[in-house]
C-alpha cells in the first residue's frame, strides 16, 4: 500500500503546474505542439507503411518494409529525433489534450527502444513475420477502385522474398509455441496469393499483361512463404526460448503497455484479494439461491462446488442459435433508454450502433466485437459484429449459449455496446486526437467497458440475486485473466494449475479454459488490461466521491472522465484531481 502511494505521488508532480486560464504564450505553445504532432504522424506512417494501411492511411500501401538491420536503424533514428523534439516542450504549459498526447507519444517512442533492444521478440517470435494479412486487406478494402488496389498489391509483392530472407536471419531461438503459430498462420493466410488474387484479377480491368505479371510474382511470393514455413519446421532449435517472458521483462512491458499507476506486482496482489472477495459474495448468493434451483438436494460442503452447481443451473436459461442476433439487437435500445432514464451519462444519438452478422472475413471467432471507424474514416458506421451459430454442432452451440445465457448476454451487451465500448468511442470521437486514436490505451478502453458493467448493476439494472451472481462470475474472468497472465509469465505457473484456476475458481468451461491457456502462451500483458483499467477507474470514482461528498454527481463524473479520450487512466486521474 505504501509503495502504491509513492507512485501516485510521483505522477501528481507531472501536472503540478496547472493553470485555470491559459496565457497567449501557452496557446502559442499548444499551436506549435499541434504542428509537431502532425509532423510526427506523417513521419510515423512513412517508416511504418503496414501500420499506416491498417489504420486506413493508404498512401504507402505499395511498400513492404524488409525487417533487416537497416530497418532497425531507421526506427531508432526516428525515435531519437522525436524524443529530441519533445524536449522543446514544457509539458506543464500544454493543454490537457496535449499533455496526455505528449506522454502517449513519449511512451510509444520509449517502448520502441525497449522492443528493439530488450524485448527482442523479433528473434524469438516467428509469427511476427507474416505478410498475408496486409495483402488480404488490400484485396478486401473498399477505399479505392480495384485496379488501384491491385497495382499497390503488385508493387508490394516485390519485397516478399527479401522480407522472409530477413526474417530467417533475425530468428535465433524461437519458442515452440510461436513457431507453430507462425507456420499455421503463414500457410493459412497464403491463399491470398492464389485463389483470392486470381478471383480479384478476373473481376478487374487490368490488362492481360499486368494480370500475367502479377500471377507470376504471386507464385514467387507464395513460394517464399511456404519456404519460410518449411525452414521453421526443420530448424534445429535445441534450446528454444520459453514462452514465459520472465519477471524482469514482464515488469517493463507491463509499464509500457498498460501505463498504470500500479506495477505488475501490485495489481497481482489486488487481483488475488478481489478474487477472494468475489468468492465470498458469490457464496452468499448461491447459498441463498440453492433451494430455488436445487430443491432438497444436499449442499456440497465445498463452497466453490456449491457456487458452481447453482451457476450451472442458472446457465440453462438461454436463447436459441436462431434468435442470438435478434436478441442482441433488441437489447441495445433498451440499454440506451435505461442509461437515459437513470441519468448515468449522455449518449449522442446521431451516431447509432449498427448490429450486423459478423462479415465473412472475420468469421471463425465466435462471439461479439465492435468495429470502429478508423481515424481516417470517421464518418463510417460503428458496427456490432455478432458471430453466427449456424453450422455449429448442437453440442457446441448449447455450450456456447450456456456461457452467454440470458444474464451474461446482457452484461456482454453492456460491455461491448451501451454504455461500454461503443459509448466510449462516441465520446472519444468528440475530443478528436489522432494520437489517441492511433496510440489509444488498451487498459483505459477495456477498463471502461468492465467498469460500465459494475456501474450498471450498482444502479439497479435488472436487479436480482441471479444477475449479481452471474455478474460476479463474469467479473472473475477479467480478474483471473490478470492472475493467470502474471503467474504464467513471472511465476512459472504450470498448465495444470492454470486450468484449475480457470475451471475451479473462475467456473469456466473446459473449452474456454483451454483457449485461454493457448492465449497466455502466445501473448504477454494484454490479458491484464481489463482488470487493471477497471480497478483504476473504479478507485478514481470512489476517491472523488469521498472528496466531493454531496457535490459528487455520477453523470458528470462519467462525462468528464470520457472527455479525455482513450488516454491512460493515471493521466486522466491526475487531470481530474487537479481540477478540484
Ligand atoms: Zn440449453
Ligand atoms: Zn472489451
Please list, in sequence order, all residues whose beta carbon lies within 8 angstroms of the beta carbon of residue 111, skipping any fewer than 6 positions away. Answer: 256, 257
- Give the closest residue to 424 by CA, choosing from 333, 514, 348: 348
Q: Please tell me what DSSP assigns to residue 507.
A: -
The residues, any chain, with a CB within 8 Å of residue 270's CB and separated by 6 or more, are 262, 535
Q: Kindly give the confidence (pLDDT) of every residue in the chain, 580 residues in length, as a single tens digit, with 9 standing for 90 and above.
A: 333 333 333 333 344 444 445 678 888 999 999 999 999 999 999 999 999 998 889 999 999 999 999 999 999 999 999 999 999 999 999 999 999 999 999 999 999 999 999 999 999 999 999 999 999 989 988 889 999 999 999 999 999 999 999 999 999 999 999 999 999 999 999 999 999 999 999 999 999 999 999 999 999 999 999 999 999 999 998 999 999 999 999 999 999 999 999 999 999 999 999 999 999 999 999 999 999 999 999 999 999 999 999 999 999 999 999 999 999 999 999 999 999 999 999 998 888 899 988 876 665 555 788 888 888 877 778 899 988 888 889 998 998 899 999 999 999 999 999 999 999 998 988 777 899 989 999 999 999 999 999 999 999 999 999 999 999 999 999 999 999 999 999 999 999 999 999 999 999 988 889 989 999 999 999 999 999 999 999 999 999 999 999 999 999 999 999 999 999 999 999 999 987 5
Of all ligands present, the nearest one to the C-alpha of 526 is 2
Nearest ligand (C-alpha, residue 420)? 2
Select from 89, 107, 85 the least CA-distant residue to 98.
89
Distance 56 CA to ligand 2 centre (A): 22
Q: In what order do the strands lie in the sheet with 353-357?
A: 353-357, 382-386, 368-371
SS3 for 401? helix
Ligand nearest to the CA of 530: 2
d(CA 530, CA 432): 24
**Could you tell me the distance, in angstroms and rounded to a whole number, from the CA of residue 95 to the centre of ligand 2?**
29
Q: Are 415 and 335 in contact (CB under 8 A)?
A: no
CA end-to-end distance (rounded Å), the chain: 24
Nearest to 184 by CA among 518, 512, 496: 518
Ligand nearest to the CA of 312: 1
CA of 446 to the centre of ligand 2 (A): 5
Give residue 14's pLDDT. 42
Alpha-carbon gap, residue 499 to 505, rounded angstroms: 9
Beta-strand pair 368-371/382-386 = antiparallel
Nearest to 369 by CA among 350, 351, 382, 352: 382
pLDDT > 90: percent of the chain: 82
User: How many angstroms does the Cα of residue 322 sit away from the middle of ligand 1?
Assistant: 13
3-class SS string, 426-469: HHHHHCCCHHHHHHCCHHHHHHHHHHHHHHHHHCCCCCCHHHHH
Over its C-alpha atoms, the chain yields an Rg (Å, rounded) of 25
> 441 CA distance to ligand 1 centroid (A)?
38
Q: Ligand 1 center to residue 396 CA distance, Å?
A: 11
Q: Which three cell numbers stand for residue 357?
A: 452478422
Residue pair 179/237 in contact (Cβ under 8 Å)? The answer is yes
Helix (H) or strand (E) holding 410: helix 406-416
- Residues 109-131 as b/e (b if ≥16 CB within 10 A, e otherwise) read bebbbbebeebebbebbbbebbb
Report CA-CA distances (Å) from 470 to 300, 328, 400, 444, 450: 19, 18, 15, 24, 14
Q: What does the DSSP assignment read for 133-165?
A: HHHHHHHH--SS-HHHHHHHHHHHHTTHHHHHH
Grid cell, residue 409, equals: 448476454
Residues 298-338 pLDDT 10s: 999 999 999 999 999 999 999 999 999 999 999 999 999 99
Q: Separation of 333 CA from ligand 1 center, angstroms?
A: 26
Question: Which ligand has the nearest atom to the CA of 477?
Answer: 2
Q: Give 421 Cα–ligand 2 centroid separation in angstroms.
A: 7
What separation in Å is there between the alpha carbon of 279 and the centre of ligand 1?
Answer: 26
Retrieve residue 567's grid coordinates.
488516454
Q: Return the ligand number nearest the Cα of 317.
A: 1
**577 CA to centre of ligand 2 in angstroms:** 26
Distance 371 CA to ligand 1 centre (A): 30
For ligand 2, a single-atom ion, which residues have Cβ within 5 Å? 446, 449
Q: Which ligand is nearest to the CA of 372?
A: 2
| DSSP-derived secondary structure letter, 115 | I
317 C-alpha to ligand 2 centroid (Å): 24
Nearest to 259 by CA among 128, 97, 446, 82: 446
With a CB cutoff of 8 Å and minimum separation 6, the contacts of 48 are 65
Pairing mode, strands 382-386 and 353-357: parallel
In the reported structure, the alpha carbon of residue 410 is separated from the centroid of ligand 2 by a whole-number distance in angstroms of 14
Cβ–Cβ under 8 Å, residues 63 and 384:
no
Tens of pLDDT, residue by residue over 28-87, are 999 999 999 999 999 999 999 999 998 889 999 999 999 999 999 999 999 999 999 999
Q: What is the model's pTM?
A: 0.92
What does the alpha-carbon distance between residue 56 and residue 138 come to, in Å, rounded to a whole number?
10
Q: Residue 348 half-sphere exposure, CB side, CA atoms within 13 Å?
A: 13
Amino acid at each position: 500500500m505504501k509503495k502504491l502511494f509513492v507512485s501516485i505521488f510521483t505522477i501528481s508532480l507531472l501536472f503540478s503546474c496547472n493553470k485555470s486560464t491559459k496565457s497567449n504564450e501557452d496557446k502559442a505553445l499548444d499551436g506549435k505542439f499541434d504542428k509537431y504532432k502532425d509532423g510526427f504522424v506523417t513521419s510515423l506512417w512513412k517508416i511504418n507503411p503496414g501500420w499506416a494501411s491498417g489504420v486506413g492511411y493508404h498512401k504507402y500501401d505499395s511498400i513492404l518494409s524488409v525487417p533487416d538491420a537497416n530497418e532497425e536503424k531507421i526506427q531508432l533514428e526516428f525515435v531519437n529525433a522525436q524524443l529530441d523534439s519533445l524536449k522543446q516542450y514544457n509539458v506543464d504549459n500544454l493543454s490537457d489534450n496535449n499533455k496526455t498526447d505528449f506522454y502517449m507519444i513519449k511512451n510509444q517512442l520509449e517502448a520502441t527502444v525497449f522492443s528493439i533492444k530488450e524485448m527482442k521478440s523479433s528473434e524469438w517470435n516467428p509469427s511476427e513475420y507474416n505478410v498475408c494479412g496486409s495483402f488480404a486487406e488490400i484485396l478486401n478494402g473498399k477505399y479505392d477502385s480495384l485496379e488501384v488496389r491491385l497495382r499497390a498489391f503488385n508493387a508490394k509483392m516485390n519485397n516478399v522474398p527479401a522480407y522472409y530472407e530477413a526474417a530467417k536471419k533475425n530468428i535465433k531461438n524461437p519458442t515452440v509455441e510461436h513457431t507453430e503459430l507462425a507456420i499455421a498462420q503463414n500457410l493459412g493466410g497464403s491463399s491470398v496469393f492464389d485463389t483470392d488474387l486470381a478471383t480479384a484479377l478476373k473481376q478487374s480491368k487490368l490488362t492481360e499483361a499486368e494480370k500475367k505479371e502479377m500471377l507470376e510474382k504471386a507464385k514467387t511470393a507464395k513460394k517464399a512463404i511456404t519456404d519460410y514455413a518449411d525452414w521453421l519446421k526443420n530448424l534445429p532449435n535445441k534450446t528454444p526460448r520459453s514462452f514465459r517472458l520472465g519477471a524482469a521483462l514482464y515488469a517493463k512491458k507491463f509499464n509500457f503497455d498498460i501505463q498504470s499507476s500500479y506495477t505488475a506486482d501490485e495489481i497481482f496482489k489486488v487481483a488475488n484479494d478481489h478474487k477472494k472477495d468475489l468468492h465470498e459474495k458469490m457464496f452468499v448468493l448461491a447459498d441463498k439461491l440453492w433451494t430455488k434451483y436445487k430443491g432438497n438436494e444436499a449442499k456440497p460442503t465445498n463452497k466453490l462446488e456449491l457456487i458452481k452447481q447453482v451457476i450451472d443451473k442458472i446457465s440453462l436459461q438461454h436463447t436459441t442459435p436462431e434468435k442470438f442476433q435478434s436478441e442482441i439487437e433488441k437489447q441495445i435500445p433498451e440499454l440506451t433508454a435505461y442509461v437515459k432514464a437513470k441519468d448515468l451519462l449522455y449518449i449522442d444519438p446521431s451516431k447509432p450502433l449498427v448490429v450486423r452478422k459478423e462479415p465473412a472475413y472475420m468469421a471463425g471467432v465466435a462471439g461479439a466485437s465492435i468495429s470502429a471507424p478508423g481515424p481516417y474514416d470517421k464518418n463510417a458506421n460503428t458496427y456490432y459484429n455478432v458471430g453466427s451459430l449456424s453450422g455449429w454442432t448442437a453440442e457446441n452451440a448449447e455450450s456456447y449459449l450456456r456461457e452467454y445465457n440470458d444474464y451474461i448476454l446482457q452484461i456482454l451487451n453492456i460491455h461491448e455496446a451501451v454504455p461500454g465500448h461503443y459509448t466510449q468511442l462516441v465520446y472519444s470521437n468528440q475530443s478528436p486526437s489522432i494520437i489517441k486514436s492511433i496510440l489509444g490505451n488498451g487498459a483505459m478502453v477495456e477498463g471502461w467497458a468492465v467498469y460500465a458493467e459494475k456501474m450498471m448493476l450498482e444502479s439497479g439494472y435488472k436487479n436480482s440475486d441471479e444477475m449479481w451472481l452471474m455478474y460476479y462470475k463474469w467479473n472473475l474472468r477479467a480478474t483471473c485473466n490478470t492472475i493467470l497472465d502474471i503467474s504464467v509469465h513471472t511465476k512459472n505457473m504450470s498448465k495444470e494449475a492454470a486450468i484449475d484456476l480457470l475451471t475451479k475458481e473462475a467456473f469456466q468451461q473446459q473449452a474456454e479454459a483451454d483457449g485461454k491457456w493457448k492465449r497466455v502462451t502466445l501473448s504477454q500483458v494484454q490479458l491484464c488490461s481489463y482488470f487493471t483499467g477497471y480497478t483504476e477507474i473504479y478507485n478514481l470514482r470512489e476517491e472523488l466521491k469521498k472528496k466531493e461528498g454531496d457535490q459528487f454527481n455520477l453523470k458528470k463524473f462519467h462525462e468528464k472522465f470520457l472527455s479525455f479520450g482513450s488516454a491512460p487512466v493515471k493521466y486522466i486521474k491526475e487531470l481530474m484531481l487537479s481540477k478540484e
